[in-house]
Structures are given as C-alpha cells and as structure tokens.
A = this chain, B = another copy of it.
C-alpha cells in the first residue's frame, strides 16, 4: 500500500516530467505555469488510491491522474477569468499574467490535452473512462454557471446550494475515484460505491470550507477569516442563518448584506455574532458530518478487505480535520 505523501510525490514528479511543449509559446507557457503552482493534488491522488484499492498497483493510472489534475487546472484558469480573480495560490492568475484571450485559449488546449492524457488506458476500459469524464466535465461547467447565477438570485434554498457544490466540487472528486477504480479493474457496482464516497466526501469538504472561512484559525487556515461574509457569498452558513433568523437577527443580516460602506471587520464581527446566536456552526458541522458519515458508509460497503481501505479512510479523515 502506498502512503499519501508518496502518491503526492509521484503525481508531482509526473507533472514535472510532463512539460507541455509546442508553438506558439503563449499557448503552452500558461499550462506549465499553472500546473507548477502546486496545490494538494487531491484529485490525482484519489484516482491513484482507487486504482491501488482494486489492483494493488498505481503506475498504469499515472497519466489519467495527471489528466484529472490538468482538467481541474483548466477549470481554475477559466473560472478565474469569469471571477476576475487576480491571484491563484498567491501568484498572478493566467489572465492577469498574460491576458484574457491567452487564458481562454490555453484553457481550451488544457481541456483537449486532458482528454489526450485520459486516453492512456487499456482499450477495454477506454469508453467507460471517457463516458465518466464527459459527464463530469459537463457537470463541473453546470456547477460553475449555477454558482454565477446564485450571485444574482435571492431565495436560494439549502438543497439548491448543496446541488451546486455537488456539481462544482464533488463530482470531480467522485469521478477521479470512479476512473481510478475502472483502471484498477473494479466492477461497475464497486466503482459506483466509490463514486458516491467521493461525492459525499466532496460535499463535506466544501461545507468545511464554508465553516473554516468563518471559524478557522487564520494562521492554520492560511488566510484571513470572514472573506465570504465580506463578499456576501451565499454559503451554507449564510443561507441557513437567513432561513432561521427572526426579528432583530433577520434585520441585522439584511442590514449587513445591503451595507456596502461598512468596515469589513465590523461586518464580519456582527454577522458572526448572528451566526453564533443561531447556532449555525453546530448545524453546519452536523450537516458536514452527515455527508462524511455517508461517504464512509459507501466505502465500508465495498467488498475489499478493510485493511486495503485504510488509506482512503485516513485520507478522508485528514481532509475533514484540516484547518487549511
């Protein structure tokens, strides 16, 4: 069995060894740039763990693992244009460093190259793997569009929010696991259980992100807390608090939501106080734990010795106690 850090290393080596070369440079430099910015490599590591789970080996899944990371980075490049984000992992985004046209087009090439790398599979699973990849890629785009629509919409419900984060975040984690399982020779049913494990894990992961943005330790979290509150982001915490708030709490939430001249730290303090009065943190943690629980049940149900599933369980637990 491989250690998590070992798998991360393996992925990083594979990425470092795969310089995207080609003319013109404007098209390929941004790919190498964004891929070299690092990150936790969650998706390729999950893919490799899934292959390992069913086949006891990971090397044959290395190119599809890089493909998943490349796809993920394609979505970051295009999302950053749409969100007008200046920074990604502390460095200038592709459209900021080059320009929007370069970011659109090199993003397009990344998607194509992701397909190319994803095809490094045995013939008998090629179609299945690409079916999962197509479905997932369309789902991630849908999630991004729904997220953008939410900015303009009022009255978003918690189920609608959960469906958005399922598409935007969870299905790609889930697909990484399903593809890894297929590459490892898993039966369709078992690959499906692993998919559901990833889906629930991904939702729990995003909910934790929402919680940490308000309640995380800034030093461990790596950024100032309260960013979502300042940006009026419709997170699970905000939506739940609006659902529950009455009287003065409701009035206060409305006031801060519409007050654009307020000092940011004052706004964060006041909105967090409302959250606290309504017990939002506990509720959010309960919802997160439900999804995490459901994830682990799916993992349990896969007919593989518990010993072999230890790493995935460990990984899930690490993911959900992280503070960064």
Contacts and interface: CB of A to CB of B under 8 A. Distances in A.
Interface of A: 22-24, 26-27, 78, 81-82, 101-102, 104-105, 107-109, 111-113, 115-116, 119, 123, 126-127, 130-131, 134, 137-138, 141-142, 144-146, 148-149
Given A82-B101, A104-B81, A127-B119, A149 B24 contact: yes
Contact of A104 (B82, B130, B131): B82
Contact of A108 (B23, B24, B26, B141): B141
A134 B105 contact: no
Contacts of A131: 119
Contacts of A126: 126-127
27 contacts: A23-B142, A23-B146, A24-B142, A24-B145, A24-B146, A24-B149, A26-B145, A26-B149, A27-B141, A27-B145, A81-B101, A82-B101, A82-B104, A104-B104, A105-B141, A107-B108, A108-B111, A112-B137, A112-B141, A115-B115, A116-B134, A116-B138, A119-B127, A123-B127, A126-B126, A126-B127, A130-B130
A83 to B, nearest CB: 9
A141 B131 CA distance: 24
Kindly name the residue among A27, A138, A145 whose own CB sees the greatest number of chain B CB atoms within 10 A.
A145
Contacts of A105: 78, 82, 141, 144-145
A126 B131 CA distance: 12
A81 B78 CA distance: 13
Contacts of A134: 112, 115-116, 119
A275 B123 CA distance: 56
Contacts of A127: 119, 123, 126
A106 B109 CA distance: 16
Contact of A142 (B27, B81, B82, B111): B27
A23 B131 CA distance: 19
Nearest to A164: B24
Contacts of A24: 142, 145-146, 149
Nearest to A102: B145
Contacts of A148: 26, 101
Contacts of A119: 127, 130-131, 134
A75 to B, nearest CB: 9
Contacts of A102: 145
